[in-house]
Amino acid sequence: MSAPAITAKENATLLIVYNEKDARDRLRKIFEAAGFRALTVSDAPSALRVIHKESCDLIVLDLEIPGVDALALCRLLRAQPATKTLPVIALSDSTVESRKADAFAAGADDFITKPSNADELVSRVTSQLRSAQREWDLIGSNRELRFLADLGRGLLRAIEPDQLVRRVAGSTYEGTGAVLCAAFVDLSPDCETGCVFDREGSAEDTSLMHLDRLQGWLASPGAAAPVLLTAASSFFLREDAHQVEYAVPLRFGGRAKGALVVAFDRREDLGETECRLVDAAAQQAALAAHISSLYQAARESSTTLAKEVDRRTAEAEAQRRFTEAIIDSLPLSLYAVDSDYRIVAWNRNRELGELGIPRGSVLGKNIFSVLTLQNRQVLSEEFARVFESGEIERIEHEATRASGEIKHWLISKIPMWIDDSGRVSHVIAVGEDISTRVEANRAVARAEKLAAIGRLAAGVVHEINNPLATISACAEALESRLQEGAFSQIESSETLDDLREYLGLIRSEAFRCKSITNGLLDFSRARASEHARLDLADVINAAARLLAHQQRDAKVEFLFQTPDNPLPPLSGDAGQLQQAIIALATNAVDAMPVGGTLTISARHEGAEVLVEVSDTGVGIAPENIAKIFEPFFTTKEVGRGTGLGLAVCYGILTEHGGSLDVQSTLGVGTTFTITLPAITEIGESKA
């Protein structure tokens, strides 16, 4: 029921329950004169019938009514929810205090002793009506506060539009006692949703709404304020039984973001309290809808941003991998350090080889703790100069591997700047294997030197050979005459022996000088070689037979290894190639003064045939490796070598389009490798 009236001007309805007709009429006139609407009955049953038909705001009850006891009626009214708070003023002739106490115990709000004057009656009734109104107002306020608190807590968890409309519609449905309740939001063209709670309390979608009609109203100027609908043709909800609708727009920032609609079966059920509840719910729903729209926009922006971030991250990752692939593909060893000498880059070539270290085990470490084989002081000074000067520093470095192979490196330390501070932030160290270039340069220099020496030797030899021939001829003539007795006049036999010895020395040394000059001449002049198709295995076997006699007086074991499958044929001069192999083998024997093993083996790799002459001798010092092919350079004792053997070998193999390489380790031995091109299918050497 609705709240009772506060003043007579609001036409509060009073029910007078009095047995005596004259007294009833007198009371009716008093209250009507005061502006109240008065209804009169004579007994309790009649009073109950009127209460169920009429909306009464207060009951004036005579405790002496016949039939049902008035106190029993009072207790009955207090026991029913509809009349539990209905004000009751008890009238009684008794002045006994116990009677008054019984009345209050039964539920009476006031007690008046008869007879009473009109002013007192009106004053008491007005006071009770005001007290009842205050109680109703307090109940309504508590109801609204409880409703708004529950709705607010629910909306805190309703960020999604679907959750929002369901929460608002359900809470309003329960809070107002409506038979239907609908919530609808339209946050964007792609985000509109609604929810309807029907008579059974079930949540339905927008199929129970006249959605076009509702959206049309929201788009019109009339949606600026709530609207009360009583005509079925204008209802927003598809249901024929209800009689009234109350629709409130969800407005925020001057725009209607949706609507909240409640429906009742009777107009009387939609009071001020219900309207206030719906208005308050609409305000909270409008704020929640705005927050939801911001959340949707933020989520869309976040999704777009996340996709953009993912795309750019993928691009950056692809670019990083591409850059790393470029750096790893370079035929260079590369790493970079920061100003604290921590390693920040380490390419694939730094992971390979004899001194390779995996990238994962060095990144972030101090460079000096990784490159422990290098002189720390020298390395630190090199880095410091680059950090301070900002200039590129290049250093050639020579390293000997465990196998004895000598590698030449060009180490470049390059400054790098990553900001505009002007300070070098990183240094990139690049190592380039220049062994091939160094060997090529040395080969060119060696060839030029050999050519120059050859030209000089050709001229000198012709000048020396004639005097040597004269000296040797004279020595031979004197020896002949000595044998014929031409110097018989010399009496001393010792003198003759000395003469004979000296002449022999002159002749042998002259022939020795002639052999040297002939070697120089052979070295300097173009070789008249005749190239023909040949089998290198035959050349090695022929050389082996010539070398076999050296086993007689040397503690050297000879091993000759040729593959079971035939070697590819070569084009060359068999005699010259045999000369080169014998020269290398002879040097190998000389390198094993206390004995050892000489191995001559042959194999083919691709389109090339290789011959290796290995010994287990004393080896060649690293500083002499670059000099051994130079004419007249020898490590043998004076008189045991001319220093021309390897130079002649080098020239022979170069003329055949091949090469001669050496690997040596002191105390372990030396291996000379001859590489010669094989004949291709069309019958020509690949040289």
Examine the domain organization and report whether 167 and 251 are in the same domain. yes
Q: Which two tokens stand for residue 93?
A: 């002739």
Examine the domain organization and report whether 516 and 551 are in the same domain. no
Examine the domain organization and report whether 541 and 667 are in the same domain. yes
Examine the domain organization and report whether 284 and 205 are in the same domain. yes
Sequence length of the chain is 687
The answer to the question of residue 599 being in a domain is yes
How wide is the angle at C-alpha 319 spanned by C-alphas 315 and 325, nearest 5°?
145
Structure letter (DSSP) for residue 67: S
Rounded distance between C-alpha atoms, residue 50 and residue 213, angstroms: 43
Dihedral-angle region of residue 632 (phi above 0 means left; psi in -120 to 50 means alpha; beta otherwise): left
Examine the domain organization and report whether 173 and 295 are in the same domain. yes
Q: Which of 217, 238, 236, 166 is nearest to 195 (CA)?
A: 166
- Please name the amino acid found at residue 475: A
The answer to the question of residue 259 being in a domain is yes
Alpha helices, H only, 157-243 = 161-176, 211-219
Residue 599: give the domain boundaries: 532-677
Examine the domain organization and report whether 125 and 15 are in the same domain. yes
Rounded distance between C-alpha atoms, residue 470 and residue 460, angstroms: 16
What is the phi/psi pair of residue 186, to 5°? -130, 90
What's the CATH code of the domain at 632?
A: 3.30.565.10
Residues 6 or more apart whose CB falls under 8 angstroms from that of 609 comprise 536, 567, 568, 570, 602, 603, 675, 676, 677, 678
The answer to whether 36 touches 24, Cβ cutoff 8 Å, is no
Examine the domain organization and report whether 36 and 122 are in the same domain. yes
Rounded distance between C-alpha atoms, residue 173 and residue 193, angstroms: 18
Q: Which two tokens stand for residue 32?
A: 């009507």
Q: Which of 403, 428, 453 corresponds to the end of one domain?
A: 428
Q: How many domains does the chain have?
A: 5
Examine the domain organization and report whether 643 and 546 are in the same domain. yes
User: What would the DSSP string read from start to end of 373-395?
Assistant: TS-HHHHHHHHHHHHHH---EEE
Residues 6 or more apart whose CB falls under 8 angstroms from that of 685 comprise 570, 571, 657, 677, 678, 679
Q: Which two tokens stand for residue 182?
A: 């609908």
The answer to the question of residue 145 being in a domain is no
Residues 6 or more apart whose CB falls under 8 angstroms from that of 364 comprise 342, 343, 344
What's the CATH code of the domain at 193?
A: 3.30.450.40
Rounded distance between C-alpha atoms, residue 480 and residue 474, angstroms: 10
> Which residues of the chain fall below pLDDT 50?
1-9, 526, 638-639, 683, 686-687
Examine the domain organization and report whether 537 and 595 are in the same domain. yes
What pLDDT shows up at residue 5?
38
What pLDDT shows up at residue 243?
93
The answer to the question of residue 123 being in a domain is yes
Rounded distance between C-alpha atoms, residue 149 and residue 161, angstroms: 20
Give buried/exposed letters for 438-453 (b at 16+ CB in 10 A, else e): bbeebeeebeeebeeb
The answer to the question of residue 242 being in a domain is yes
Which residue is listed with tokens 């006031």?
A: 110
Rounded distance between C-alpha atoms, residue 188 and residue 221, angstroms: 19
Structure letter (DSSP) for residue 54: S
What pLDDT shows up at residue 7?
41
What pLDDT shows up at residue 491?
58
Q: Specify which residues 88 forms β-bridges with.
A: 59
What pLDDT shows up at residue 474?
81
Rounded distance between C-alpha atoms, residue 648 and residue 577, angstroms: 11
HSE (side-chain half, CA atoms, 13 Å) at 521: 13
SS (H, E, C) 290-329: HHHHHHHHHHHHHHHHHHHHHHHHHHHHHHHHHHHHHHHH
The answer to whether 370 touches 336, Cβ cutoff 8 Å, is no
Rounded distance between C-alpha atoms, residue 420 and residue 274, angstroms: 70
What's the CATH code of the domain at 18?
A: 3.40.50.2300
Which residue is listed with tokens 């004057």?
A: 117
Element (H, E) at 100: helix 97-106
What's the CATH code of the domain at 457?
A: 1.10.287
Rounded distance between C-alpha atoms, residue 648 and residue 632, angstroms: 11
The answer to the question of residue 229 being in a domain is yes
What pLDDT shows up at residue 8?
40
The answer to the question of residue 75 being in a domain is yes
Examine the domain organization and report whether 576 and 542 are in the same domain. yes
Residues 6 or more apart whose CB falls under 8 angstroms from that of 368 comprise 341, 376, 379, 380
517-540 pLDDT per residue, tens: 665 665 555 455 577 888 888 888
Examine the domain organization and report whether 258 and 391 are in the same domain. no
Examine the domain organization and report whether 410 and 472 are in the same domain. no
Residues 6 or more apart whose CB falls under 8 angstroms from that of 340 comprise 366
Q: Which two tokens stand for residue 35?
A: 């502006």
The answer to whether 387 touches 427, Cβ cutoff 8 Å, is yes
Rounded distance between C-alpha atoms, residue 469 and residue 475, angstroms: 10
The answer to whether 209 touches 194, Cβ cutoff 8 Å, is yes
Which residue is listed with tokens 């007294």?
A: 23
The answer to the question of residue 618 being in a domain is yes
Which residue is listed with tokens 């002739």?
A: 93
- Please name the amino acid found at residue 602: A
The answer to whether 519 touches 642, Cβ cutoff 8 Å, is yes
